[in-house]
């Protein structure tokens, strides 16, 4: 009994043929062809459907005239179960048009019984498998292009350009996708300046990872910008965003952590509201410290609580770094499970305190990845804000 194809071994061919004499002829022709294959035999469509998931052959040689099939039902059944296998159909002398129709329906090639020689059979199977590989590569390339376009659209929604009326504030940002991700997750941020010269910033994280979470992050980010520019701020802003979240989320278990800030025109006063989100790094002439204001609950949780305002005064030239938990929830190497955590992140940030925004973010992320080299399981987003001198 054959088993699944072993990588590097000769290709496995499954012959689906009800006539034992024809099956023997195919085996002899393959031996004459010089093509090294392993041959398995199924006597009906139903038997082939049972064998295909287990054997995972590289090619299926299918007789269209099986007793348990009608017209092209055999081909349809085999194509449904064949996966990445090439399919070559066998037809009778009077059924050549059926062979052409089978190719149009998804088979890689067709052969007419009684007109096949060993060399032709081997060449047909070899070319069919190569064509199938080419088709798979083309499909994968097209899928990758579509994913790239989807990611580009999501990235524009999640990670927008700051909307500033003046150039009084420096904004630097970075984003890293999670381990093995083909699509952006739900981390988002935004920075806008309102007509009263207040600079508003937000950073958020939708729980989970995937296109649904990314789309929800885009929705909330756009809603945040629209509400801020219409004059809604603070706890009222978070309440409205929570209403939008509950209407747009896929399930009641989905929640969002968020920090929303107002940087006043005096370039000193900062107002902060935290909804279940990590704190932030404060950069001053004395170094870097971790600010962890009082938190309210994450958006979307079944909790009755209020989001309180935290007001702080920044020294001249001070800056802020906002981040999502993907930056510090990383496992450190070693036999004993340890995590980098916010305190570990703070120590790394203090070693880069003298750098400006762009260089600071690059160095900090590099230090985090060096300290915890295992690829992160979550996205990370980081935003650095500093008033210009």
CATH code: domain of residue 56: 3.40.50.2300
What 3-state class would DSSP assign to 178?
A: coil
Tokens of 385: 């804000």
Residues 206 and 59 in one domain: no
- Per-residue pLDDT averaged across 344-373, rounded? 92
261 forms beta bridges with: 201, 272
Tokens of 164: 């500033």
Where residue 150 falls among pLDDT bands split at 50, 70, 90? low
Residues 251 and 368 in one domain: yes
How many other CB atoms are found less than 10 A from the CB of residue 343? Answer: 10
pLDDT of residue 386: 92
State the Cα–Cα distance between residues 127 and 36, nearest whole angstrom: 14
Domain range for residue 111? 12-141
Continuous H helices in the chain: 20-33, 45-55, 73-82, 96-104, 118-158, 211-229, 234-248, 341-350, 357-371
Question: Is residue 245 a contact partner of residue 256, using CB atoms and an 8 Å limit?
Answer: yes
Residues 335 and 376 in one domain: yes
pLDDT of residue 377: 64
Per-residue pLDDT at 4 exceeds 70 = no
Per-residue pLDDT at 142 exceeds 90 = no
Closest CA to 91 of 111, 68, 116: 111
Count of domains observed in the chain? 2
What 3-state class would DSSP assign to 82?
A: helix
Per-residue pLDDT at 8 exceeds 70 = no
Residues 256 and 112 in one domain: no
Lowest mean pLDDT among 71-80, 240-249, 270-279: 71-80
Per-residue pLDDT at 7 exceeds 60 = no
Where residue 149 falls among pLDDT bands split at 50, 70, 90? low
Per-residue pLDDT at 304 exceeds 90 = no
Where residue 132 falls among pLDDT bands split at 50, 70, 90? confident
Angle at which helix 73-82 crosses helix 45-55, to 10 degrees, equals 10
- Give the number of residues written for the chain: 389
Residues 130 and 174 in one domain: no
Closest CA to 320 of 348, 360, 373: 360
In a domain, 21, yes or no: yes
Last residue of a domain, one of 141, 172, 198: 141
Lowest mean pLDDT among 48-57, 250-259, 260-269: 48-57
Per-residue pLDDT at 111 exceeds 90 = no
For 249, counting Cβ atoms within 10 Å of its Cβ (0-12 exposed, 13-18 middle, 19+ buried), the class is buried
Where residue 70 falls among pLDDT bands split at 50, 70, 90? confident
Please spell the DSSP secondary structure of 71-133, one letter per residue: TTHHHHHHHHHHTT-EEEEEE-TT-HHHHHHHHHTT-SEEEETTS--HHHHHHHHHHHHHHHH
Last residue of a domain, one of 85, 112, 141: 141
In a domain, 90, yes or no: yes
Residues 233 and 362 in one domain: yes
Residues 173 and 98 in one domain: no
CA distances from 380 to 179, 327, 329, 376 (A): 11, 5, 10, 9
Cβ neighbours of residue 297 under 8 Å, at least 6 residues apart?
Answer: 275, 276, 303, 305
Provide the whole-model pTM: 0.65
Strands 256-263 and 287-291: unpaired
Residues 382 and 249 in one domain: yes
Where residue 94 falls among pLDDT bands split at 50, 70, 90? low
Per-residue pLDDT at 385 exceeds 50 = yes
38 forms beta bridges with: 12
Residues 104 and 180 in one domain: no
- Per-residue pLDDT averaged across 98-123, rounded? 84
Share of the chain above pLDDT 90, in %: 38
Residues 135 and 191 in one domain: no
CA distances from 59 to 14, 79, 133, 309 (A): 6, 11, 11, 66
Tokens of 295: 């938190």
In a domain, 149, yes or no: no
What 3-state class would DSSP assign to 151?
A: helix
163 forms beta bridges with: 192
In a domain, 71, yes or no: yes
Per-residue pLDDT at 22 exceeds 70 = yes
State the Cα–Cα distance between residues 89 and 16, nearest whole angstrom: 9
CA distances from 258 to 206, 223, 278, 346 (A): 9, 13, 8, 20
How many other CB atoms are found less than 10 A from the CB of residue 140? Answer: 10
Per-residue pLDDT at 1 exceeds 50 = no
pLDDT of residue 77: 86
pLDDT of residue 158: 60
State the Cα–Cα distance between residues 131 and 107, nearest whole angstrom: 10
Tokens of 219: 């929705």
Q: What is the dihedral of CA 175, 176, 181, 184, to 10 degrees?
A: -10
Please, what is the average pLDDT of the chain?
Answer: 86
What CATH number does the domain containing 303 carry? 3.60.40.10
Where residue 2 falls among pLDDT bands split at 50, 70, 90? very low
pLDDT of residue 148: 61
In a domain, 154, yes or no: no
pLDDT of residue 275: 96
Residues 350 and 209 in one domain: yes
pLDDT of residue 46: 87
């Amino acid at each position: 009994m054959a088993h699944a194809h072993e990588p590097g071994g000769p290709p496995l061919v499954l012959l689906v043929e009800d006539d034992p004499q024809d099956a023997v002829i195919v085996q002899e022709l393959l031996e004459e062809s010089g093509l090294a294959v392993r041959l398995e035999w199924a006597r009906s469509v139903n038997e082939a459907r049972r064998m295909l998931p287990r054997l995972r052959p590289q090619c299926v040689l299918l007789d269209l005239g099986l007793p348990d099939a009608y017209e092209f039902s055999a081909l349809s059944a085999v194509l449904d179960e064949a996966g990445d296998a090439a399919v070559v159909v066998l037809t009778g002398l009077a059924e050549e048009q059926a062979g052409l129709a089978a190719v149009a329906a998804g088979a890689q090639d067709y052969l007419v019984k009684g007109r096949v020689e060993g060399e032709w059979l081997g060449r047909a199977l070899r070319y069919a498998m190569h064509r199938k590989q080419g088709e798979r590569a083309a499909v994968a390339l097209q899928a990758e292009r579509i994913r790239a376009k989807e990611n580009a659209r999501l990235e524009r929604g999640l990670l927008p350009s700051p909307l500033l009326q003046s150039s009084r504030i420096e904004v630097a940002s970075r984003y890293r996708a999670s381990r093995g991700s083909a699509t952006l997750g739900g981390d988002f941020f935004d920075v806008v300046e309102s007509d009263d010269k207040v600079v508003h910033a937000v950073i958020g994280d939708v729980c989970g990872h995937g296109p649904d979470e990314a789309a929800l992050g885009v929705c909330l980010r756009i809603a945040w910008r629209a509400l801020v520019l219409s004059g809604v701020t603070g706890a009222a802003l978070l309440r409205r965003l929570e209403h939008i979240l509950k209407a747009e989320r896929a399930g009641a278990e989905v929640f969002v952590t968020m920090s929303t800030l107002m940087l006043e025109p005096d370039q000193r006063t900062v107002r902060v509201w935290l909804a279940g989100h990590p704190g932030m790094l404060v950069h001053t002439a004395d170094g870097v410290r971790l600010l962890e204001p009082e938190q309210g609950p994450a958006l979307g949780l079944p909790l009755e609580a209020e989001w309180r305002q935290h007001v702080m005064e920044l020294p001249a030239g001070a800056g802020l770094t906002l981040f999502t938990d993907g930056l510090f929830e990383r496992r450190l190497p070693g036999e004993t499970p340890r995590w980098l955590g916010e305190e570990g992140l703070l120590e790394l940030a203090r070693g880069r305190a003298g750098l400006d925004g762009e260089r600071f973010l690059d160095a900090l992320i590099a230090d985090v990845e060096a300290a915890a080299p295992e690829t992160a399981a979550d996205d990370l987003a980081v935003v650095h804000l500093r008033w210009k001198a």
